Chains A and B, each alone.
Chain A
Amino acid sequence: MMDAFGHLLGGFAVALQPAHLAYVFLGCLLGTVIGVLPGIGPAAAIALLLPITYGIEPTAALIMLCGIYYGAMYGGSTTSILINTPGESSSVMTALDGYAMARNGRAGAALAIAAIASFVAGTLSVVLLSLLAVPLAGFALKFGPAEYFTLMLFAMTSVAALTGPSLSKGLLAMFLGLMLATVGIDLQSGQQRFTFDLPELQDGIGFIVVVVGLFAIAEVFCGLEDLLKGQSEVVRLSGRLWLTREEWRRSMMPILRGTGIGFFKGVLPGAGATIATILSYSVERMLSREKEKFGTGMIEGVAGPEAANNASTGGAMVPLLTLGVPGSGSTAVLLAAFIMYGLQPGPLLFEKRPDLVWGLIASMYIGNLVLLVLNLPLVGVFVRLLRIPIGLLLPMVVSISAIGIFAVNGNIFELYLALGFGVLGYAFRKLAIPVAPLVLSLVLGGMMEQSFRQAMTISGADPGVFVRSTICIVLLAASAVALSIPFIAPLLRRLAVRSSAT
């Protein structure tokens, strides 16, 4: 505990430097602005804004990217409340009662409780992250190649099994990501694989290319398609932008419960923010004396899921920073940003660059405060962004995407690749195939293969190496449980329906 406190103090010394404070502010502002734009979630926001960080030193750049991450997570709630269009799946539950509150003339209160819940949950989750970071990073030092392989397998299978309606589609996305990760020169043998003699593919398929294509360009296609079919109405901001005493009283416990649920779910790979918000909403509905009023503008239905949504960002940083393994699409993009700056998150980063890791964690405390200060008075300004015509906005997203991709290697071939991934992303959405497993396995694929081959080489090609340690057995069992959930959950639901009918 004292260790963490000492490190955190050092982190604040880094985060409170004027330049870093400015980057926290800029990251939160840009993240909120991008998050407010319909359809563009945190992963796309980080990928699109990555070029802005080129030329900035790594600590400042990562502080800014993390600001973008939780700024975008928060920004999504504004579109949910005002136009009933969640920027991403984790804001869907906020829309249920948030939009209803806005229709009832309580848009201001809904936005205010979203900001307050985000602040409280975000801050508490960073406190938990600070406390867990040191012991978990110490534990992660025990990991060898076999443990890392099974950990990555667990992260991927959990995300594949829990992020879509069908296990086969989740697994398809996962294996496609792994397939893409094998393109390029094999690091252990120097052998070129699946490059079709194209020099542009020798270094593999750029992560930014895939993320920008799948998230940003695909969103342009979907957004313009929605435009053809008619747009959602923006509810005018009305009512007091503050809560009544009664609303305060009703919101406090949902915020605390949402924080606990969100943090715990955020730490687990795959479960992520979406399931945390659904769970939080269900818990609040279950505990309420006015269950039937949920969906008609209950403030508990906004406070709980919003807290869960933002607490999950702190939770998601735990495995990313301590183990170097992201558990969601957004943290996978953050991992790619770390790697781009020549940094590998994990236990060794805590030893080699404590200034960076703890500076980043300390910046999250400041970032949550910045978000609150920024969002309460400026919500009216952000709302105006929603009035920018989609027909003007989305074409600009394509140009920003082009700049972002071209700026990395100055390679036109990568622009065509991104366009191809944009079309693929559009097809994925139409066919309800989740994108997160593909992104996650693309980022982790290379490391996973290396761990697999190293473990097998050390053991003399004996696959038994993957069941020799307790950590491996626990992780393999957890992967099996994650893969069985899509089969077990419908059975349990049917049993519940039958028992309630009799």
Chain B
Amino acid sequence: MATLISIPIFALLMILQSSLFSRIPLLYGTMDLLLLVVVAWALQKRVQTAWQWSIVAGLIYNLVSALPLGIPLIGYGITTGIALVLRRQVWQFPLLAMFITVFFGTLITHTISVTALRLVGHPIPLVEAFNLITLPSLLLNLILAAPAYALMSDLAARLYPEPLEA
């Protein structure tokens, strides 16, 4: 159930991302709604479907984007791994873990994207890409990190309710 619900959620997020948020850039960077939700979901303490959600997000991203096949999947997968490690290490401060994961997740997904694009022949200049795209995207993602975490906490509380104490 928790995995299946990710399909309409990420489909809706992709529609919003491609038709709305990609049109409102900061410099040339845009926020990554799917990354935010993948991270926020993975950091929920009772959630056990973090990997499944990151796979669904990566596949849906690849359906729309011209990025080489599997690149979003790898980026979201590594980010989910970081989130799960941090969930165990800094479980007392989930919001701090959210910010740290979004920070590194954005850098990792962008690095993987640029590397893959350069390998397939896109002449992307590294310094310009970092200054004009990655840094503004990082800022936008960090701004939206807290609201994304709050929304996913609500969803996790509905899908994984606290067990009643005897």
Chain A bound to chain B: no
Which residues from chain A sit less than 8 Å from chain B, CB to CB? none
